[in-house]
Every structure is written in structure tokens, then in C-alpha cells.
Amino acid sequence: RNCSVTLKCSVTSRAAVSIHWTWTDGNSGNEVTHNGSLLDLPLSPSDHKGSSLACHAHNKISNVTITVPQITCQYSATVSGGFPVCLWKTIMFSIGLVIMLSAVVGVHIREVVTNKKECAAEAQTSKT
């Protein structure tokens, strides 16, 4: 599954600055250069291993290269229908919790009712 990343490289300078990007594919070793401060980068999971990305800025006075840490696609897992797994787990956990809580409350109410009946029966027995 692929994703797309947009990166921006900018420099504050009074002098004119030229900016370009280099992307080295970790699989093939091919290097791709892109001129400009914005880079739209389509990624696939296999692109991450051993790949490198750098922004190069230069003017008449200096050259600066910044290497970007490894970029990864973040996927949110979904079950069929596009429903997020995390939300699905939260709903199922909540339903289970409500069922368990209902069972505990039900048992408690049954014990209270049973105790009241026993007390009432004892009270009737003592009056006679």
C-alpha cells in the first residue's frame, strides 16, 4: 500500500537561494533530483529500507545540506468497510464492560431482594 508525502525545505536569507532535493532509492541505488522547495514524494513500504532523502540549499555565500530522517507511511488499520480497528476494539471492549457490569449489578440486586424476603419471612415467623 502506497502513501504520498509532501516535504518543504525553506531557508531564510537575504541573498537568492537555490533549493533542490535528492532522493536515493535504497533498492536500486538510483538517485532522483528535484528542483524547488516543495517535494511531493510517493512512497511504498519497500522504499523505506536504505533510502535517503536530503534537502540542499545554496547561494553565493554557503551551501547547506539537511538529511531527512527515515520517512515512513503511517497506516491506520481497518476492518472491512473501512472501519478503524482501534475504534472497533474500543467499542467491543466497552460492550464487554457494560455486560460484565450489568451482570455484577444484577447479582447484587438479586441478593438484596433475596435478603429482604428472608428478613420479611423471619419477621412473620417471630410475630406468631
Per-residue model confidence (pLDDT) at position 95:
80
pTM confidence score: 0.51
The pLDDT value recorded for residue 94 is 77
Model pLDDT, residue 115: 86
Q: Do the strands 18-24 and 31-35 form a parallel or antiparallel pair, or are they unpaired?
A: antiparallel
Cell 541573498, located at residue: 15
Contact 4, 43 (CB under 8 A): yes
Which triple of cell numbers denotes residue 14?
537575504
Report the mean per-residue pLDDT for the chain. Answer: 78
Q: What is the mean pLDDT of residues 84-88?
A: 67
- Measured CA to CA in angstroms, residue 44 lies from 7, 9, 16, 34, 79 at distances of 16, 22, 35, 19, 21
Residue 74 CA: distances (Å) to CA of 2, 5, 28, 104, 110: 10, 11, 23, 41, 50
